[in-house]
Amino acid sequence: MSKVTAILADTVSIQKYVYSSNRLKENIGASSIIANIYKESLANTLEKTLEHGVSLDEWEKQPETIAIKNSNTDFEVGYIGGGNALLFFNNEATAKEFISEWTRSLLLEAPSLNVAFAISEFNIDNFQNEMKNLFKQLEINKSKYFPQTFLPKHGITADCPYSGLSAEVYKPGTNDEKGAYISSASYVKYKHIDIDDAKVEVERISNGKFSLTTNIEKLGQTKGQNHIAIVHIDGNSMAEHFKSCENLVAIRKLSKRLKDIMQSVYEEFLNYIFEQMDLLLSDESGFNIQLENGKYIIPFRPILREGDDITFITDGRLGIPFAQKYLELMSDKTLYNENKLSACAGVAIIKTKYPFFRGYNLTEELCQSAKREARENKGTSWLDFHISYGGFSGTLEGIRKNKYTTSSGQLHFGPYLVASSDISNEKNIFHLKRGIKTFKNKEEWPRSKVKEFREYLTLGKSASQQFIDEARFKGRKLYGFKETSKTYNINVWQDGFTPYFDMIELMDLIPEYFLAETRQVK
């Protein structure tokens, strides 16, 4: 038997930590802290506890070598990925000392960040069952009360303008912001802005031609088109893939494979954006691409990349095209045993100055809405979106019930199937884009008539059907879904849904040249 002491560490509520501020710079700094947790921070604490150097990537280089089985080895990384780390110690006291030392360090390095642990004797030869028990313990510990990891407010101190916590540290002013006293939690996040690995990566891949911005107003927006899109993409059934791993070697190989795939997808996506830049820089594009330090700012800013997840922001007009492209690139990859990756995306299109945290929460709900379709259709990728031209409150379900429901059914037709050649499915995004192009044909559909049709749709089946019957008599035809079994162009409402409201909502948002892309992956 190969028994050791195992620690499973997991960062809790990463999204809340990263997106709790409405300031992009603070979000980026928080993301940098998260990325560092299982790198420099972990390595430094291990070296202090073990009193010798450690390698955090040896498990990737030699996944089939399990050194901890050797009695002369005091520590080994099981794997690191997906926001958690599996660590092996040959001594329980040392493992507990490490937890104590690391949590103490994190209070200073990342105030307000919570990390949960599970610790147990672990038989490596019974890996699958032991991991199941370790994750069960971790879930129990995550649901327990977390002690406060930041200084509370004091009656004699001012409030931090960013976090609402006690203002304790002075942050010097910059070209964009005035100096101010802020909380230690916010200050640490701002300190990490300079560690902008994403910016370095973009400049490296583009050979210094393009770069990223930390200013949310420099993503290509123009007057009258001042919206951003928050995009959250999450892989499907990834937990099931990892739980199916029968031994440590298998989970290591899967972790490494997923990491390599997601890096490849990310780089391919960046190159796709670079290819669009000549178009986006043209006068007729309608985008305001800016120049900083001799480099063009691409209309894209990654906030958090973790395992099979990515959250990024872009110009509101690019949210759906970029999300579709990312899903297509992911769906083109094989994880293992000919199992193709699939994923879902939520796209929230909101005003640039609207509270970011609310927008992100909506994006997560949209992604979960898309995942419900994916669970019903295994191996498929889906996208859902919401457009807000003002403010909003409440849940996605509440918003759609109050604003997108008529006596005849739902105005919102999504979620939409992405990265699929199955155009017999009326939910395929292929049909959404073709329908938008139909409404953009001003000779057949003058804008006034399109807007009028939109209003009739909100009145329900009878009114909108009468409008279309009259329009058809005058030679105006709706997009026909001819590859499907549906006849929405004849009967506008079917089974409590209509596809045309979404098309009209998006016709002024998605640029014409992105509608021309109809490449299907599967």
Domains and CATH numbers, the chain: 3-142 (3.30.70.1230), 197-403 (3.30.70.270), 428-513 (no CATH)
What is the spatial distance between Cα 463 and Cα 453, in angstroms, rounded to a whole number?
10
Three-state secondary structure call for residue 140: helix
Could you tell me which of 2, 10, 14, 498 has the C-alpha nearest to residue 304? 14
For residue 76, the cross-strand partners are 88
Residue 91 is given by DSSP the state: -
The CA–CA distances, whole Å, from 144 to 15, 86, 331 equal: 19, 21, 37
What is the spatial distance between Cα 357 and Cα 368, in angstroms, rounded to a whole number?
17
* Residue 338, Ramachandran bin (φ over 0: left; ψ between -120 and 50: alpha; else beta): left
Tens-digit pLDDT string for the chain (522 aa): 478 999 999 988 888 888 877 788 889 999 988 888 899 999 999 999 999 999 999 999 999 999 998 878 999 999 998 788 999 999 999 999 999 999 999 988 888 888 999 999 999 999 999 999 999 999 999 887 666 666 666 677 788 887 777 888 888 887 777 888 888 888 888 888 877 889 999 999 999 999 999 999 999 998 877 899 999 999 998 888 888 889 999 999 999 999 999 999 999 999 999 999 999 999 889 999 999 999 999 999 999 998 899 999 999 999 999 999 999 999 999 987 777 899 999 999 999 888 888 899 999 999 999 999 999 999 999 999 999 987 777 899 999 999 999 999 999 999 999 999 999 999 999 999 999 999 999 999 999 999 999 999 999 999 999 999 999 888 899 999 999 999 999 999 999 999 999 999 999 999 888 887 544 444
Question: Per 3-state DSSP, what percentage of the chain is helix, strand, and coil (rounded to 5)?
Answer: 45, 20, 35
Q: Give the pLDDT of residue 522.
A: 42
* Sequence-distant (≥ 6) Cβ neighbours of residue 416 within 8 angstroms: 382, 383, 384, 427, 428, 429, 432
Strand pairing class (309-315; 300-306): antiparallel
Could you tell me which of 316, 312, 285, 317 has the C-alpha nearest to residue 300? 312
Q: Angle at CA 519, nearest 5°, toward 513 and 522?
A: 155
What is the spatial distance between Cα 277 and Cα 68, in angstroms, rounded to a whole number?
50
Q: Give the pLDDT of residue 149.
A: 62
In contact, 58 and 214? CB cutoff 8 Å = no
* Sequence-distant (≥ 6) Cβ neighbours of residue 348 within 8 angstroms: 229, 230, 319, 359, 360, 362, 363, 366, 385, 386, 388
Burial class (CB in 10 A: 0-12, 13-18, 19+), 190: buried
DSSP code per residue over 362-415: HHHHHHHHHHHHHHHSTT-EEEEEEE-SS---S-HHHHHHHHSEETTEES----
Q: Give the pLDDT of residue 146.
A: 63
- The residue type at 438: T
